[in-house]
């Protein structure tokens, strides 16, 4: 087996003497590096973890046949010079990724030899001294902590469950049971009426407060049903709610106040939170705007009578926008940052129309003036437009309005900038929550003025616009948290009674075990100050300062002190087990997971004979692997900022450890260390084949240093292109960027680089923030000179015709006026893939020749298994499957939505219904109409016309069937039903009926098997009674998207359809990205449909006490919604990156901003209007192509807008007319 040749960047990632952050772009071979790093940890004697740390608790493998090699042929575990598999933790994002990583590690170890061999026979490594050592490592690998974070935490908790749980559970709750349990929990919460009810249900906190908060919440949100939606959203994100509570508690402590969920949160805490994103820019921004506003006011006041006084007389009021701005400029400019934030909003509010301000389509100080009466929303401008000014000369008027327009344009640019947008959003939220001004220059009946409401509500809604008072806002927040906490208690008792747990429970138990907080097991027994100290974990979670503080406070309480010391000792002992961590997909780590993992990085228990601990705060060697451009799991509370902070921490710790004298002999300035031996590894007589010499024998060395100062070289020759000084410094500090792509063909990758440079450009940032990814050019190093292909399928309708009346003739979807854009896309995909798979030539419209021109068929032949179709949602997968299958293309989807709505499942449900209720006519008709019975409409009508009712429809259906085979089947089913053999019935149906002939595809078969497995699990839990199983299935069906999903395993030889999230980490020769102009269109509405937003900073609930009225304005909701929207759009850009970078050879993009097009008569080009939603991937593509054209000065590019010039930065995309020649 030939060794994989690593490039320099990858080798830098193998350095075991420092902590490493691998910033790995798409297709750069990070999994290979991770597997090799893991192996090097196992077989390298000289590495940081072996020099600075003691051995872990090395227990020999036990049991007959554990090792075949005799003891003399293997090294004793206590004497093994490297780390053992049990001492190296490898965390992956999915079980599949964990299995793949373990497989690669095993394969690498299996090909390692302890004696010299030929290259084809394995890899000789002089560090392996005995023949049985590899077998020992391979045997230990089975129990190694290579798993997902949840599985790893469960592995930690299980041996210590008695320390953290009074009632240990027996099993993981099923995916089917979990949403039902949440539903039951909320129903239980509504039934509580007294203290006794609450105690029996499991509520542990103040019962009176719980009932009061629950009732008030139901009133505020507009009813019990709406409250259930909010609580369901919170219970499905319980850990994230805990994270928000932790953040709010910390903010309160910083303000010098103690807060818990039963208390009202200090409004200043929320105002500080609103200010935080703009804290660094608000003073300079507001001061600059204040100076300009004063100058603008000065100009107008110079001709006060003509411009202002006469206007006030005509408009009949002095409570005007202008006087409001004068007051802001002269009298009401705040000194503090929070006041300046609201001040900016108040300037913006007066200087443009309200409707355009909310849509972000405004112009501030239009023509240097203010909105005129017909656009002022009842708030008069108090300032004449130029045409209405009288009493001054034209020259004076022209001069004044010229200066006003000049300064107004400057203020418009200031307020319209990204910083201005951020400050307007934050200022509005702050003003709605706690206004600094009562707007004395706005009429009391103005439609822009809001009326504040509190928790004392009337049956009739107040008149005018409404806003939530700061007192009510704090009350809502407290009520949400109190009711959520009570529901958690109820659900906890239900799970305990059922003997089950979920991932959230394991995470909480792990936090208790690792003392990330005070364990619930002893929370009521410890003194309050000790509990408070344990709950105050530092921002550097690996430190134990909170535990030491708690121990000092516990000295007065011997039992508490002894118990806490015992728990601390166990934590330190657990830390001794691990010498290294390798964490994959770190960009998708949430703050809670980061906190738990980093608790294991702190100081371990020190015993006699142990070496001195490292100078830095981390004991084990840490390696994180990720790519901030591929962080697309925000719905799981993943935060890009977690990786950013950890990278900085790694740099800091490495900087501290550079002074460690015990590692100096392994270091070299501006170099990393490749731990793999060269030649004989410093010994005489044998040579390793892990490194390939260009010519002649190699020098024998135990390791070699690799320069960090140069870019990676191509495979066939060495080149020395220096990296920037910043990258060199990052590499020296352990931040290694992998930029050499081995996946995608060179020309395709270069094109995508150009698109992504624009996609991640800061000009697209709706709000500034640290959640934005930065572009990273990937260097093509795939050993293939073939050119890749990029296609864009534009589903357009050039003509429409009436649908055909003959049902036997297929309709042309491209001329059918009722066709939707998604149908056009799917039809075009099916046609293109059919052509691609059959090798037929394709025709393209040529504007030059004004006809369809045949293009040469691709020389590369593709198989169905080479093709992956990526969709942004599963809503329309059924239509795509149908169109592909109609053309004979084998296809399968990983998921197709709700399992209980699949056609084959509906047929099986009809059988179950009739078995459960043999006297139900509805059940009998449903069964008769299914493919199982084989009855036609006439036979069905005859059966159910002859008899209106029956206690048992089975014999009547049997009589109505004409075929002997059908009669035998129904008779057998009826017999099994009478005996209660529920599961045997479905075996017979699938084996002997025509059901699988009616639904012959592999997806239907897997859906049927999944459904049978589901009813068996329900039967095992609740009894194998048909009525009970049917009742539970009906409950699951009511859960809709939260219920069981249709999950299928793609079979070999078929086109795969999957979501972009499902395709993460995969690659395919041909990738089709569909729905470009749909993906992202509904992000904002989807995120707010539950009327609750849970962010890392706060929980925001949207209330509406009066269903007949618009919702009241809510400062906290506006803040959370806008920040969430900006982060969602940033994530959509990362999702676009993930979708495109799955491709190897052939990328097909599908979608159009407009399905209607015409043929331009003069040029014969396809012409259509383009104004895509700015949130969609299609908009990113158009802007990306526009950006490439702009950077490369392509004058005749169809993607440039008419006003684009090459010497000026691009403006936001506007509606334009696109003219294309597809053949060009």
Residues 6+ apart with CB under 8 A from 372: 381, 385
- Regarding whether 928 and 997 lie in a shared domain, the answer is yes
Say yes or no: 404 and 436 in one domain: yes
pTM of the model: 0.89
Pair of tokens at residue 163: 């320390």
Among the three residues 662, 691, 713, which one is the final residue of a domain in this structure?
713
Is there a single domain that holds both residue 692 and residue 753?
no
In this predicted structure, what is the pLDDT of residue 684?
A: 38
CATH value at residue 124: 3.40.50.300
Residue-level pLDDT at 30: 92
Q: Running DSSP on this structure, what letter comes out for residue 1092?
A: E
Contact 835, 1072 (CB under 8 A): no
Give the per-residue pLDDT at 60.
67
Q: Residue 479: enclosing H or E segment and its boundaries?
A: helix 470-498
Residue 225 lies in a domain: no
Q: Which single residue is written with the structure tokens 């935490």?
A: 153
Q: Is 621 inside any structural domain? A: yes
| CA pair distance 1028, 1014, nearest whole angstrom | 13
Helix (H, G, I), strand (E, B) or coil at 443: coil
Domain match, 763 and 670 both: no
Q: Among candidates 22, 42, 25, which has minimal Cα distance to 34? A: 22
Please tell me the number of Cα atoms within 13 Å of 161 on its side-chain side. 12
Q: Structural domain of residue 1063, as residue ranges? A: 743-803+811-894+1050-1224
Which of residues 987, 1020, 1047 is at a domain's end? 1047
DSSP 1152-1178: -S-SB-EE-TTT--EEEEE---TTSHH
The pLDDT of residue 691 = 54
Q: How far apart are CA 437 and CA 1190, in angstroms?
A: 47
Same structural domain, 983 and 1110:
no
Integer Cα distance of 513 and 458 in angstroms: 50
CB contact at 8 A, 599 and 516: yes
What is the DSSP annotation of 127-154?
T--STTHHHHHHHHHTTS-EEEHHHHHH
Q: How many Cβ atoms from other residues are within 10 Å of residue 396's Cβ?
A: 14
* Same-domain check for residues 837 and 876: yes
Quote the tokens at residue 605. 């228990």
Copy the structure tokens of residue 565.
């010391």
Distance CA 108, CA 101 (A): 11
User: E strand or H helix at 1057, and its extent?
Assistant: strand 1055-1059
Q: How far is CA 676 from the centre of its chain?
A: 37
* CA contacts within 13 A on the Cβ side of 1008: 23
* Same structural domain, 307 and 390: yes
**CA-CA distances (angstroms) from residue 193 to 229, 476, 1220?**
21, 21, 69
Whether 244 maps to a domain, the answer reads no
User: CATH number, domain at 941?
Assistant: 1.10.486.10
Long-range contacts of 817-824 (CB under 8 A, 24+ apart): 821/795, 821/1077, 821/1078, 821/1151, 821/1152, 821/1155, 822/876, 822/879, 822/1075, 822/1078, 823/879, 824/795, 824/796, 824/797, 824/1152, 824/1155
Cβ neighbours of residue 195 under 8 Å, at least 6 residues apart? 207, 208
Alpha-carbon torsion angle 679, 682, 686, 692, nearest 10:
0
The structure tokens 């001492």 sit at 87
> Cα(1204)–Cα(1202) distance, rounded to whole angstroms?
6
Closest CA to 109 of 120, 119, 121, 123: 123
Residue 493 maps to a domain:
no
Residues 6+ apart with CB under 8 A from 370: 321, 322, 350, 351, 376, 381, 382, 383
Question: ∠ CA 15-1067-748 to the nearest 5 degrees?
Answer: 95
Token couple for 576: 């001794």
Same domain, 1028 and 1134: no
Measured between alpha carbons, how far is 985 from 1183 in angstroms, rounded to an integer?
58
- Round to the nearest angstrom and report the end-to-end CA distance of the chain: 47
Instruction: Report residues of the chain scoring pLDDT below 70.
Output: 1-4, 60-73, 115-121, 679-699, 798-808, 1050-1051, 1081-1088
The verdict on 796 and 875 lying in the same domain is yes
Residue 432 lies in a domain: yes
Whether residues 1041 and 1054 share a domain: the answer is no
**Per-residue pLDDT at 62:** 57
**Which of the listed residues 559, 577, 595 is the one where a domain comes to its end?**
577
Cβ contact 949:961 at 8 Å:
no
Residue 248, phi-psi category: left (phi > 0), alpha (psi -120 to 50), beta (remainder): alpha
Residue 32 in domain: yes
Query: Cβ atoms within 10 A of the Cβ of 865, count?
Result: 16
Tell me the two tokens of residue 752: 């995508």
Residue 542: φ, ψ to 5°: -70, -15
Q: Do residues 1016 and 1061 both lie within one domain?
A: no
User: Does residue 860 fall inside a structural domain?
Assistant: yes
Quote the number of domains for the chain: 5
As a whole number of Å, the CA-based R_g of the chain is: 34
Report the alpha-carbon distance of residue 1138 to residue 1032 in Å, rounded: 39
**Ramachandran region, residue 894 (left: φ > 0; alpha: ψ -120 to 50; beta: rest):** alpha
Contact yes or no for 439/321 (Cβ under 8 A): no
Strands 88-92 and 20-24, sheet pairing: unpaired
In a domain, 422, yes or no: yes
Q: Are residues 693 and 778 in the same domain?
A: no
Give the start-end residues of each E strand in 555-692. 580-583, 621-626, 671-674
Q: How far apart are CA 482 and CA 203, in angstroms?
A: 11
| DSSP state, residue 92 | E
Q: Which residues contact 547 (CB under 8 A, 6 or more apart)?
A: 515, 534, 564, 568
Strand partners, 1169: 1217
Report the candidate in 356, 405, 353, 407 with the shortest Cα–Cα distance to residue 381: 353
């Amino acid at each position: 087996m030939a060794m994989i040749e690593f490039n320099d960047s990858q080798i830098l990632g193998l350095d075991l003497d420092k902590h490493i952050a691998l910033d790995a772009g798409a297709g750069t071979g990070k999994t290979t590096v991770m597997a090799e790093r893991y192996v090097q940890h196992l077989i390298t004697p000289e590495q940081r973890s072996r020099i600075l740390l003691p051995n872990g608790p090395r227990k020999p493998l036990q049991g007959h046949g554990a090792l075949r090699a005799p003891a003399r042929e293997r090294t004793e575990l206590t004497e093994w010079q490297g780390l053992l598999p049990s001492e190296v933790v490898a965390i992956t994002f999915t079980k599949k990724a964990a299995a793949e990583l373990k497989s690669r590690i095993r394969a690498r170890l299996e090909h390692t030899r302890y004696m010299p061999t030929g290259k084809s026979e394995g890899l000789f490594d002089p560090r392996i001294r005995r023949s049985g050592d590899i077998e020992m490592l391979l045997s230990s690998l089975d129990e190694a902590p290579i798993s997902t974070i949840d599985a790893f935490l469960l592995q930690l908790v299980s041996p210590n469950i008695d320390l953290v749980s009074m009632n240990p559970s027996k099993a993981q709750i099923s995916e089917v049971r979990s949403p039902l349990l949440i539903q039951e929990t909320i129903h239980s919460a509504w039934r509580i009426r007294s203290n006794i009810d609450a105690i029996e249900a499991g509520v542990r906190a103040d019962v009176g407060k719980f009932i009061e908060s629950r009732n008030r919440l139901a009133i505020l949100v507009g009813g019990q049903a709406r409250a259930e939606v909010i609580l369901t959203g919170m219970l499905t994100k319980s850990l994230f709610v805990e994270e928000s509570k932790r953040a709010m508690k910390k903010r309160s402590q910083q303000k010098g106040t103690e807060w818990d969920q039963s208390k009202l949160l200090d409004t200043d805490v929320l105002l500080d939170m609103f200010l935080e994103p703009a804290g660094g820019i608000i003073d300079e921004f507001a001061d600059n705007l204040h100076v300009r506003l004063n100058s603008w006011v000065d100009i107008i006041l110079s001709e006060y009578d003509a411009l202002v006084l006469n206007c006030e007389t005509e408009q009949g009021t002095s409570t005007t926008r202008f006087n409001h701005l004068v007051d802001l400029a002269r009298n009401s400019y705040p000194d503090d940052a929070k006041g300046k934030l609201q001040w900016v909003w108040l300037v913006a509010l007066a200087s443009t129309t309200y409707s355009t301000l909310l849509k972000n389509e405004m112009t501030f100080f239009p023509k240097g003036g203010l909105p005129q009466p017909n656009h002022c929303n009842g708030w008069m401008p108090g300032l004449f437009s130029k045409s209405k000014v009288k009493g001054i000369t034209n020259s004076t008027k022209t001069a004044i309005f010229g200066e006003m327009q000049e300064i107004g344009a400057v203020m418009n640019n200031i307020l319209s900038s990204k910083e201005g947008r951020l400050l307007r959003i934050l200022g509005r939220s702050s003003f709605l929550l706690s206004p600094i001004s009562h707007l004395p220059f706005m009429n009391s009946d103005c439609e822009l003025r809001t009326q504040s409401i509190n928790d004392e509500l009337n049956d009739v809604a107040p008149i005018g616009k409404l806003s939530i008072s700061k007192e009510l806002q704090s009350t809502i927040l407290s009520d949400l948290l109190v009711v959520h906490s009570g529901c958690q208690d109820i659900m906890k008792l239900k799970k305990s009674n059922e003997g089950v747990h979920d991932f959230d429970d394991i995470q909480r138990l792990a936090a208790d075990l690792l003392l990330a907080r005070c364990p619930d097991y002893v929370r009521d027994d410890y003194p309050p100050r000790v509990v408070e100290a344990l709950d105050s974990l530092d921002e550097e979670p690996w430190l134990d300062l909170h535990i030491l503080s708690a121990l000092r406070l516990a000295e007065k309480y011997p039992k508490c002190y002894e118990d806490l010391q015992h728990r601390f000792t166990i934590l330190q002992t657990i830390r001794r087990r691990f010498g290294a961590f390798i964490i994959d997909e770190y960009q998708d780590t949430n703050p809670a997971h980061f906190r738990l993992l980093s608790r294991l990085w702190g100081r371990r228990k020190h015993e006699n004979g142990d070496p001195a601990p490292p100078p830095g705060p981390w004991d084990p060697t840490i390696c994180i692997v990720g790519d901030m451009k591929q962080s697309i799991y925000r719905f799981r509370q993943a935060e890009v900022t977690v990786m950013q902070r950890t990278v900085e921490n790694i740099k800091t710790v490495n900087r501290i450890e550079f002074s460690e004298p015990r590692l100096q002999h392994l270091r070299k300035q501006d170099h990393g260390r490749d731990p793999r031996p060269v030649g004989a590894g410093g010994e005489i007589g044998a040579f390793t084949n892990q490194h390939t010499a260009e010519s002649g024998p190699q020098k024998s060395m135990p390791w070699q240093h690799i320069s960090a100062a140069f870019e990676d070289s191509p495979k066939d020759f060495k080149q020395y292109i220096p990296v920037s000084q910043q990258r060199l410094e990052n590499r020296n500090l352990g931040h290694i960027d992998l930029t050499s792509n081995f996946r995608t063909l060179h020309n395709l990758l270069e094109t995508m680089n150009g698109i992504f440079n624009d996609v991640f450009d800061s000009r697209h940032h709706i709000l500034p923030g640290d959640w934005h990814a930065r572009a990273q050019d990937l260097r093509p190093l795939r050993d293939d000179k073939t050119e890749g292909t990029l296609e864009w399928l534009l589903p357009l309708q050039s003509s429409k015709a009436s649908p055909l009346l003959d049902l036997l003739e297929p309709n042309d979807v491209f001329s059918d006026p009722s066709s939707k854009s998604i149908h056009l896309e799917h039809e075009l995909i099916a046609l293109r893939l059919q052509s691609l798979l059959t090798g037929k030539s394709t025709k393209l419209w040529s504007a030059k020749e004004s006809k369809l021109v045949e293009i040469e068929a691709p020389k590369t032949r593709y198989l169905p298994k080479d093709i992956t179709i990526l969709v942004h949602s599963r809503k329309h997968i059924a239509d795509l499957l149908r169109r592909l299958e109609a053309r004979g293309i084998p296809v399968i989807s990983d998921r197709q939505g709700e399992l209980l709505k699949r056609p084959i499942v509906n047929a099986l449900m009809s059988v179950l219904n009739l078995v459960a209720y043999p006297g139900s006519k509805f059940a009998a008709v449903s069964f008769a109409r299914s493919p199982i019975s084989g009855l036609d409409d006439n036979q069905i009508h005859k059966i159910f016309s002859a008899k209106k009712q029956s206690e048992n429809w089975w014999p009547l259906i049997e009589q109505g069937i004409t075929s002997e085979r059908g009669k035998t089947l129904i008779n057998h089913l009826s017999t099994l039903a009478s005996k209660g053999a529920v599961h045997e019935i479905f075996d017979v149906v699938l084996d002997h009926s025509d059901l699988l002939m009616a639904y012959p595809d592999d997806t239907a078969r897997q859906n049927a098997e999944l459904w049978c497995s589901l009813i068996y699990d329900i039967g095992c839990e609740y009894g194998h009674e048909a009525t009970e199983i049917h009742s539970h299935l009906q409950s699951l069906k009511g859960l809709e998207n939260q219920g069981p999903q249709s999950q299928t395993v793609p079979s070999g030889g078929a086109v795969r359809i999957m979501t972009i999230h499902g395709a993460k980490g995969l690659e395919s020769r041909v990738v089709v990205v569909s729905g470009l102009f749909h993906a992202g269109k509904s992000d904002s509405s989807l995120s707010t449909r539950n009327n609750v937003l849970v962010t890392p900073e706060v929980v925001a609930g949207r209330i509406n006490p009066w269903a007949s009225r618009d919702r009241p304005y809510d400062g906290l909701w506006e803040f959370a919604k806008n920040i969430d929207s900006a982060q969602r759009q940033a994530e959509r850009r990362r999702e676009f990156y993930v979708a495109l970078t799955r491709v190897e050879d052939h990328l097909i993009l599908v979608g159009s901003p407009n399905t209607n097009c015409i043929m331009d008569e003069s040029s014969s080009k396809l012409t259509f209007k383009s104004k895509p939603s700015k949130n969609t991937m299609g908009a990113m593509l158009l802007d990306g192509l526009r950006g490439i054209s702009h950077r490369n000065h392509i004058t005749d590019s169809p993607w440039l807008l008419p006003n684009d010039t090459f010497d000026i930065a691009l403006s936001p995309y506007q509606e334009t007319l696109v003219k294309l020649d597809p053949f060009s």
